[in-house]
Structure 1
Amino acid sequence: MGADTLLKELGVSGLGELDEPGFSALTGRHRRELHVHCYRMLGSFEDAEDAVQETFLRAWRRRETFEGRSTFRAWLYRIATNACLDLLAKCRPEPATGGEARWLQPYPDRLLDELPAGDADEPESVAVARETIELAYLVAVQHLAPRPRAVLILRDVLGWPAKDVAELLGDSVNSVNSALQRARAGMREHLPAERQDWTGGEEDAGTRELVRRFTEASVATDIKTITTMLRDDVRCSMPPTPGLYVGREAVVNDWIQDGFERLENLRAVPASVNWQPAVAFYLWREQEGAYLPLTIDVLRITGGVITEIFVFHADRFPRLGLPERLPADGTK
């Protein structure tokens, strides 16, 4: 929707005429896609929440500066990108290193499903590819310095022209193009080699069967069976706990040292986050008389084997809409 059409629809000649409830209703249309944009920039669901709130606050304060030279959506994306860059400069002056991003948090599918479909009339509209919301992609992005990261997301995910990105960042088009090439090279260093084979779209029967077997073996703490489902170079991490384990032997040894085989009375609930298969595990707590949240494993599956496991703590369960407890019979 063009700026003139938007203002006409609202019955005003400029955004400055809107009261706060009217302006909030207008910006609220774009909340989810802006949140996902900030999430890509920051890797943290909660930091993205803060960035979106700051975006709307800045937009309200600057509403009279909207001149209609771009769409309203693009104007909000400019503000959101700058809010993310400011947050990164304040809280994370250095990008991630070593192949892991310790501040990484999962994103619930039920919220991703709120994203609008791409609109050919809105070049700033988010055409979300599954590969750009998967956790491995998010980890790779967090290894880029903030400005190249912004360039990559604006150019390759949102499809912005180089001149628009240059204007947003106060750089030349040549600088933006150079930053994009560096960012793409950096991504290649940290993305899985088989990126083109990532799980996408609807899960096939083979993937569902593998997740089922993984779930059953995990509940039984059957490490031997789980090991047969892992690729030789499988990776496992548990943000925000430091440590990235690479290779089947290293991953399994870490589980053994952490006492996985000694766990008893586990239950599991199937889940999906970042458009990837996941399993939420619950552990029986006698004192509570119920199964309480333990961890959630998010899987990357390639070629019929598990190639990466992200393990998140129980504090993520509420955000993901998972049950707070399971009764003794294991039902929700």
Structure 2
Amino acid sequence: MPAPAARPDLSTGYLARAQAGDTAAFDRLVAPHRRALHTHCYRLLGSPFDADDALQETLLAAWRGLAGFEARSALGTWLYRIATHVCLRLIAQRPQRLTSADHAPPLQFTAELGEPVAGPVWLEPLPDAEWAAASPEDPAAALQRREHVALAFVAALQHLPGTQRAVLLLREVLEYSAAEAAELLGTSVASVNSALQRAQATVRQRMPAAQLLQTPPPAAPGLEDLLARFVVAWERRDIAAMAGLLAEDARFTMPPLPSWFSGRPMVLAFFAERVFQTPWRLQPLHGNGQPGFACFLQQAGDDRFRPGGVVLLRLRGGCIESIDSFIDPTVCRRFGMPEELE
């Protein structure tokens, strides 16, 4: 994703009007940048809800400081500077966002799943509608955008100190030069280069490069068939069919519950002994550039299916490597799940 082009939107007159106090002109001025800024905040913070707060604070600070903006740099660059510093302050104030594997080892039984761990603890997914390009784009650019919002990538970022997160994103995702990143962060080029090397080493350790290429693009051959078979196996509660879809090292996570399962046998045991004890209906969705489903379950005595969770899949070699289920009701609402299905 290239850095913003120099001085966008400034010739339209919106800047002068916004600097004179016209809030409508300010909204028009920043509108082309909102989605990219929100995605930048999401990568830094690991939560779309935290990113909402950061974006709101960024735009408020931009409005208050707009009179001092002299257009020596691109408006987008100025906004990224503000957003990055807002996020760095929030990172220092809030706990690290975790995945299930960060929190505890996998369970070896299914009888007790533990109590939900509440609070701003867990890495949360981002609906594709909130970050994806609104119009078709070059396939190589689309692949890069998907890689840079994948759950595995965002999870790896959360293990970096705030400044290293910012440097990695500014240099490798937004493609600013070392000098530009140093100016954005108010530091030296040497410090930026050092932080980038340390960040790259940590990300490589946490997330092998091959992981980013495991989920095929939406139109990849065989993907639609695999997802259809997954729906049939889940809705028919067919353990044998599900077994044929899972990789040997498959895992199943379900934040905010701390429990998770690793390996095909334990994942299948969880399906058989817990998940498949109730009827389900699945509807397709996409988040973090990955295929997934809105999952609705029907409790005993209820004639409707109610939201049970948002599931995102990571694939490898035609098999499902990871089923990440987010059962927080706020996540379900974020993905637009209705309150019930007939």
- Which bin holds the TM-score, normalised by the shorter protein? 0.7 to 0.9
- Matching residue of 1:322: 337
SS in 1 for 2:334: coil
- Matching residue of 1:49: 52
Deviation at 1:159?
0.2
- Matching residue of 2:108: none
Instruction: Report the TM-score, using the length of structure 2 for normalisation.
Output: 0.83
The more displaced of 163-172 and 94-103 is 94-103
Question: Given that residues 130 and 200 in structure 1 are in contact (C-alpha distance below 8 angstroms), is that contact kept between their aligned partners in structure 2?
Answer: no
State which of 229, 233, 243 in structure 2 corresponds to 1:213: 229
Letter in 1 for 2:234: S
- Matching residue of 1:122: none
Shift of the 198–283 alpha-carbon distance from structure 1 to 2, 3 Å rule, reads same
Question: Given that residues 317 and 324 in structure 1 are in contact (C-alpha distance below 8 angstroms), is that contact kept between their aligned partners in structure 2?
Answer: no
Offset from partner CA, 1:216-244 (integer Å, 9 cap, x none): 11112223321221112223322233245
Shift of the 115–206 alpha-carbon distance from structure 1 to 2, 3 Å rule, reads same
- Matching residue of 1:225: 241
Question: Given that residues 14 and 26 in structure 2 are in contact (C-alpha distance below 8 angstroms), is that contact kept between their aligned partners in structure 1?
Answer: no
Q: Is 1:266 paired with 2:269?
A: no
SS in 2 for 1:194: helix
Question: Given that residues 235 and 280 in structure 2 are in contact (C-alpha distance below 8 angstroms), is that contact kept between their aligned partners in structure 1?
Answer: yes
Deviation at 1:22?
1.6
The more displaced of 277-286 and 83-92 is 277-286
Letter in 1 for 2:31: G
Q: How does 1:89-104 map to 2 (within 5 A)?
A: 89-92=92-95, 94=96, 96=98, 99-100=101-102, 102-104=121-123
Question: Given that residues 235 and 247 in structure 1 are in contact (C-alpha distance below 8 angstroms), is that contact kept between their aligned partners in structure 2?
Answer: yes
Offset from partner CA, 1:258-294 (integer Å, 9 cap, x none): x22322x321112222221112221225665321111
SS in 1 for 2:333: coil
% of aligned pairs identical?
Answer: 39
Letter in 1 for 2:312: V
Q: Is 1:312 paired with 2:326?
A: yes
Q: Could you tell me which runs of 5 or more consecutive residues in structure 2 were left unpaired when the two chains were aligned.
A: 104-120
Shift of the 100–256 alpha-carbon distance from structure 1 to 2, 3 Å rule, reads farther
Question: Given that residues 132 and 157 in structure 1 are in contact (C-alpha distance below 8 angstroms), is that contact kept between their aligned partners in structure 2?
Answer: yes
- Matching residue of 2:20: 17
The more displaced of 96-105 and 76-85 is 96-105
Deviation at 1:144?
1.3
How far apart are the structure 2 equivalents of 1:130 and 1:312? Answer: 20
SS in 2 for 1:148: helix
- Matching residue of 2:64: 61
The more displaced of 297-306 and 98-107 is 98-107
Question: Given that residues 252 and 260 in structure 2 are in contact (C-alpha distance below 8 angstroms), is that contact kept between their aligned partners in structure 1?
Answer: yes
How far apart are the structure 2 equivalents of 1:139 and 1:46? Answer: 16
- Matching residue of 1:165: 181
Question: Given that residues 45 and 87 in structure 2 are in contact (C-alpha distance below 8 angstroms), is that contact kept between their aligned partners in structure 1?
Answer: yes
Deviation at 1:161?
0.7
Deviation at 1:305?
0.4
SS in 1 for 2:305: strand
State which of 148, 158, 164 in structure 2 corresponds to 1:142: 158
Deviation at 1:82?
0.7
Offset from partner CA, 1:119-146 (integer Å, 9 cap, x none): 9xxxxx9995211111111111111111
Letter in 2 for 1:45: P
Matched residue count? 318
Cα RMSD after superposing both structures: 2.8
